[in-house]
Chains A and B, each alone.
Chain A
């Protein structure tokens, strides 16, 4: 048996410690399945559980259909047709990603409620009576479906657009020569070939929808996450909340597994040496306007409308300083946590990927793969697991030996953020390392460089952009995170997301303007870079 060197042993131990902190909250949640099931379960089963499950299923189905329509439809149009505004819409279509679902939900209710801005404007235009409502109530399942689809469809758009761009003209032309019209080329060739990409994008949409707490709570749609929250804070029953969380976690794990298996089965690769980029068809007349409108609607609903409404709140919020003390403290708390989590995620992603370059075995690859699944764990479930994990540490070790308590400290919040956002850091860092030819490592070592010098003198300077990307992605993700923050934050410690949530819950929308606007603005930073990449790169078309 080959012995490990001291440095290998050291780094493996560090990896295992990090991995344990990642895994233990999940194990605590799952372990609850093997504990007693109390009387609250009969209440849940008799009265509410069916609603939680059915609402979650209806929501997923509705969001999937609408996101596919928005995401695939717009991706097909911008890659295959030339029409009014296509140039800017191609990159602008991802802007809704900067708006978290709960902020979109707040703006939708503020717009479309009986006395909301949209109804007020319509009443003014048509000189209608005060009671007259021009828009249907959005605080229901349908409103939630519209909100989630409008802000999450870019995941489908992003993956599908790349798939469509990589489809060779020759293949699609072959279809036409075999007698297919434009519509059939789309349904019988382009769509089936893009299926793995569509599934990948849709999986992200579904997982974000399942994880959400803020939007469904605001729309009073009792989904599974609401069930967990109510069981915990309404029935004061953490164990049952954990058992519910386990069910959600198992569902997410099965979903993730099926998605990966399906995607692997369908993993076709068409970009070969015979690749020819698609010639865009110029649309004229009504088709030109229809294509523009089709792309503009999701962009309007998911980005322009909420920005307009938040600006409207801000303009009306003149009673206090725009940058109040409350806002400033929650802003600095958020940025502080974001940067800290960004540094932790990026450092570990860098370390794992660096070590992976020199290890052939499955040890680090497995750890890295499992860690990158953290994004799929709903924030609320994570919070439940971390509370339980920290309570165990407090009760058994820390309180008695060190007179120190982890529960309610900033560390829980940080752990949740790191678990949720590690995948983002890992994706950027892994991609950065893949761009460095392994021959560079070989040559450096043959020139007498040790691994530390290789790390600092070669990899680090070459990875600056990836490191920055990783930091930005993690920070912007953390700024939006609501459920885990709401539960794990220390007493009197607010973040932008929590401040927005509290104001919105109290219907103090004007005051929610500043934190909401800031969340969107910070969220726009990575979107800006992503848009730039979309604008500059046309896979296979250069």
Chain B
């Protein structure tokens, strides 16, 4: 089963201050299409873990193996733009000067027609095709989050990281988007790590779950 693993993290530690680690000896593994939920209080280091996996932060120690490739060695850190890991954040961070379609096309490589088709396809899957020519500021919070997820999935990464993606949405919309995103991830066989402080996000969305406590990641049953 080892060959199916997309991501393996061993003995990872990280801290913003030299004297205090917010992550220490973290281990996790994720198979293709598997969804892991990480729970924990605010400021405990959940987002930092995602930032380390995506390459936006550099760990103090430990190894990250992604698709059989070691992402961090002593003097060689693979930069975020060369990792091929999707990321969605709570703030959505849509590029305000680009239309919805241009946003989703942004990370797709290849010919223009391929970019258009692929972006439109993912917008359709996330029921966001109808406003593909709109500017992001014309969309509601839920619509913006659909676009943000479509944008992260459109380059077809093997792994997508979701940082509190549903927390700013109302309850009904949240449940709806959770379900649709899960179906999409399964359909595209994309592995996913979602961090949240909401138990519902994890229990209804994930295949397995872990809790981040005292800088350690402990697996829990869903």
Q: Which residues of A are in contact with B by a Cβ distance under 8 Å?
A: 3, 437, 439-440, 442-450, 457-458, 461-462
Contacts and interface: CB of A to CB of B under 8 A. Distances in A.
B95 A458 contact: yes
Interface residues of B, number: 29
B119 to A, nearest CB: 12
Given A447-B152, A458-B95, 18 more contacts: A439-B93, A440-B93, A442-B54, A442-B56, A442-B87, A442-B93, A445-B80, A445-B81, A446-B80, A446-B81, A446-B85, A446-B86, A446-B107, A447-B81, A447-B107, A448-B109, A449-B107, A462-B96
A439 B96 CA distance: 12
B217 to A, nearest CB: 22
State the 4 A-B residue pairs at the shortest beta-carbon distance, nearest first: A447-B107, A439-B93, A446-B87, A445-B80
A462 B97 CA distance: 7
14 contacts: A440-B95, A442-B56, A442-B87, A443-B89, A443-B148, A443-B151, A446-B80, A446-B87, A447-B155, A448-B107, A448-B155, A449-B81, A449-B106, A458-B95
B91 interface: yes
Contact of A443 (B55, B79, B93): B93
Contact of A437 (B93, B97, B155, B161): B93
Given A440-B93, A440-B95, A458-B95, A447 B56 contact: no
A461 B155 CA distance: 23
Contacts of A448: 81-82, 84, 107, 109, 155
Interface in B39-96: 51, 54-56, 75, 79-87, 89, 91-93, 95-96
Nearest to B96: A462
Contacts of B91: 437, 439
Interface string B91-135: 111011100000000110100000000000000000000000000
B20 to A, nearest CB: 16
A448 B148 CA distance: 15
A237 to B, nearest CB: 54
Nearest to A446: B87
Chain A binding surface SS class: helix
Contacts of A445: 54-56, 79-81
Contacts of A439: 89, 91-93
Contacts of A437: 91, 93
A119 to B, nearest CB: 58
Contacts of A461: 97
B91 to A, nearest CB: 5
A450 B87 CA distance: 16
Interface of B: 51, 54-56, 75, 79-87, 89, 91-93, 95-97, 106-107, 109, 148, 151-152, 155, 161
Contacts of A446: 54-56, 80-81, 83, 85-87, 107, 152, 161
Contacts of A450: 79, 81
Nearest to A442: B56
Contacts of B97: 461-462
Contacts of B92: 439
A457 B95 CA distance: 10
Given A439-B93, A462-B96, A444 B86 contact: no
A439 B79 CA distance: 16
A167 to B, nearest CB: 30
A447 B79 CA distance: 11
Nearest to A458: B95
B86 to A, nearest CB: 6
Contacts of B155: 447-448
Contacts of A440: 93, 95
A127 to B, nearest CB: 67
A457 B81 CA distance: 15
Contacts of A444: 95, 106
Nearest to A443: B93
A444 B94 CA distance: 10
Nearest to A462: B97
B193 to A, nearest CB: 13
A447 B93 contact: no
A444 B86 CA distance: 10
Contacts of A457: 106
Contacts of B151: 443, 447
A448 B84 CA distance: 7
Nearest to B16: A360
Contacts of A447: 81, 86, 106-107, 151-152, 155
Contact of A442 (B51, B83, B107): B51
Contacts of B86: 446-447
A458 B155 CA distance: 18
Contacts of A442: 51, 54, 56, 80, 87, 89, 93
A99 B30 CA distance: 67
B201 to A, nearest CB: 19
Contacts of B82: 448
Contacts of B107: 446-449
Contacts of B75: 3
Contacts of B80: 442, 445-446
B162 to A, nearest CB: 12
Nearest to B54: A446
A246 B54 CA distance: 51
Contacts of B85: 446
A363 B165 CA distance: 35
A461 B98 CA distance: 10
A447 B119 CA distance: 13
Contacts of B84: 448
Contacts of B96: 462
A439 B56 CA distance: 11
Nearest to A438: B93
A3 B107 CA distance: 30
B125 to A, nearest CB: 18
A440 to B, nearest CB: 5
Contacts of A3: 75
B78 to A, nearest CB: 12
Nearest to A358: B56
A3 B81 CA distance: 20
